[in-house]
Structure formats: structure tokens, C-alpha cells
Copies of this chain bind each other. A is one copy, B any other.
Amino acid sequence: MKTEDLPGIRTFRLELSFDGTDYHGWQRQANGITVQEVLEEKLRHLFNNDSIRVQGSSRTDSGVHALGMAASFQAPPSPYIPDWKLKKALNRLLPPSIKIREAAVAEDGFNARFSAHSKAYVYVINTGDLNPFTCRWSWNVSDIVNPDGMAEALKYVEGTHDFSTFTVELDPSKDHVRTIYRAEIRRFGPLLCLHIMGDGFLYKMVRSIVGAVAEVGRGNLSPDAISRMLEAKRRSAAKDTAPALGLFLLKVFYDDSWKCHELSAPPFWMM
């Protein structure tokens, strides 16, 4: 009998946000505290069940943030709380840096990673002065001279491409083709928010794209250089990868609702 067939076992779906500054990414590891580890500890406590294991929609890197990370887990009913109180009870236990936005019973077979249709990321670049209130979650680039060129450059990553240039872990046995539905910039004061939405993302793909697009913004590359970099299909054609602190996993979609997803005007992180 498989765990998921045990009586009373249900699958839960979570949507959560976290400030990644002080975490070694999502996934459990030996050398530092991770979001998965903190979340599992609280769930195991709430469900009085040491075997709960959470599946994240993505393995975000050290320092990356999330506004709508998705996760799933299976568990028999909690002896302490009814399902409808799960969000509130978890938020009471979690530190301020991790908050549950939604918690619900999902359909059988739901898996936050494998059921995902598409994802939206946003990368925040601060073109203004260093600011104590944005420096934890934006990359300061003070020498942007061509923001319109950045918007133009992003258009070249839209569509279906082999993104081998824009990843750091090339595995020849794997497929590096992904489809980017939209790649656009929204501005708010000195902040440039680079929105990238697609059916899937290679390791460090968004940060590699942002690193190249920032060079366009700095006037060191023309916008169509991005197209040539894509065509090269090799890592050596890429520029430096943008740092983790500016990246947010904004939303994970489990159906076609990405099609009507409004690219949130910044500051989306307050919503």
C-alpha cells in the first residue's frame, strides 16, 4: 500500500512568500538553513507527523525570494487543527521571513513540481541610489543608460528557443528548449522590474538572461546581441549572471490562467 492510499491521507497545496536573504535557498541541505526545512519542521509539529515531506514547485537558489512559491505535501488529518485553520496556524509558527498566502486541500495526485504548467519570475534592478529599504531585494546598477534597449532585448527571449547559452548546468542528455510567453519591463520610480513568464526555466536561466540584458542597459551591448547569444547555444557566449538578491519567483500556474495574468505593476512585493 502506498502512502497516498492510506486512509485519511490527503494532498495539500500551499502558496507561500519568503524573503530569501537569510536562507540557503529552498531545498534542504547540510550546510545552512533552508525554507523547506523550516516549513517541514512546522508542518510536522502541526500534524504531529515526522514523515511529512514538502515538494516545492522549484528549487530556488540561496538568496532568491518568492512571492508565490507553490508547494505540496501529503498527510493524514492533524490531531490539533481543522484543515481550514492550516494557513493561520502555520503563519503563527513561521518566522516573519516566511508567510503562507494560501493553504488548501488539493485534488489527488497534485504535485507542486510536476503539475506546474508555467511560472512567472520578476527581477528587480535599482537604477537609483542605494536604499536601505530596497537593498535586500534589488540589484543596484547605477550606470543604466538605455532602459528602452533592455525592453527591446527582452523581446528576443520571447518564444521557443534553446536556452543553452543562458544556463550554467549543461547536461547533453537533457532538453534545453523552453518557451517564454512574455518578457517585459515595468518601471516604478528608480526600479526596473523585469518580468519573465514561461513554461519552464533552466538552472539560473532568469539570472543569466538578466545579466546580459543589464549589459544592454549599460550601453555595452546592442539589444539584438541577445538574439545572437541565444543562437550561439553555448555558455561562453553569455555575460555575468545577475546576483540572486534581485530575483523573485512571482507565481506558479497549474492551468492556463497565466494567459490572463496581469503583469503586476510594481511594487508587487507589497501585495
A129 / chain B contacts, CB cutoff of 8 Å:
91, 99, 101
Known: A19-B133, A133-B137, A137-B133. A270 touches B97 (CB 8 A): no
Does A159 lie at the interface of the complex (its beta carbon under 8 Å from any beta carbon of B)? no
Question: A132 touching B271 by the CB < 8 A rule?
Answer: no
A130 / chain B contacts, CB cutoff of 8 Å:
91, 96, 99
| Residue in B65, B67, B99, B134 whose CB lies within 8 Å of A270 | B134
Minimum distance in angstroms from A234 CB to a CB of chain B: 36
Minimum distance in angstroms from A104 CB to a CB of chain B: 15
Question: A190 touching B270 by the CB < 8 A rule?
Answer: yes
| Residue in B131, B188, B190 whose CB lies within 8 Å of A17 | B131
Does A191 lie at the interface of the complex (its beta carbon under 8 Å from any beta carbon of B)? yes
The chain B residue with its CB closest to the CB of A91 is B130
Does A267 lie at the interface of the complex (its beta carbon under 8 Å from any beta carbon of B)? yes
Q: List 12 A-B contacts (CB under 8 A).
A: A17-B132, A18-B132, A91-B129, A91-B130, A96-B130, A98-B132, A131-B269, A133-B137, A133-B269, A133-B270, A188-B270, A267-B270
Interface size of A by CB at 8 A reads 28
Does A79 lie at the interface of the complex (its beta carbon under 8 Å from any beta carbon of B)? no
The chain B residue with its CB closest to the CB of A98 is B132
Minimum distance in angstroms from A101 CB to a CB of chain B: 7
Minimum distance in angstroms from A186 CB to a CB of chain B: 13
Give CA–CA (A133, B191) in the complex, Å.
Answer: 16
What is the total number of copies of this protein in its complex?
A: 2
Does A172 lie at the interface of the complex (its beta carbon under 8 Å from any beta carbon of B)? no
The chain B residue with its CB closest to the CB of A188 is B270
A96 / chain B contacts, CB cutoff of 8 Å:
130, 132, 135-136
The chain B residue with its CB closest to the CB of A191 is B270
Does A189 lie at the interface of the complex (its beta carbon under 8 Å from any beta carbon of B)? yes
Give CA–CA (A189, B264) in the complex, Å.
Answer: 12
Known contacts A134-B270, A267-B267, then 11 further A-B pairs from the complex at CB < 8 Å, ordered by chain A residue = A18-B132, A19-B133, A65-B133, A91-B130, A97-B132, A133-B137, A133-B270, A134-B269, A189-B271, A190-B270, A190-B271
Minimum distance in angstroms from A133 CB to a CB of chain B: 4
Give CA–CA (A267, B188) in the complex, Å.
Answer: 10
The chain B residue with its CB closest to the CB of A136 is B96
Chain A positions 2-56 with a Cβ under 8 Å from a chain B Cβ: 17-19
Could you say which of A19, A130, A190, A191 has the most chain B C-beta atoms within 10 Å of its C-beta? A130
Could you say which of A67, A98, A133, A267 has the most chain B C-beta atoms within 10 Å of its C-beta? A133
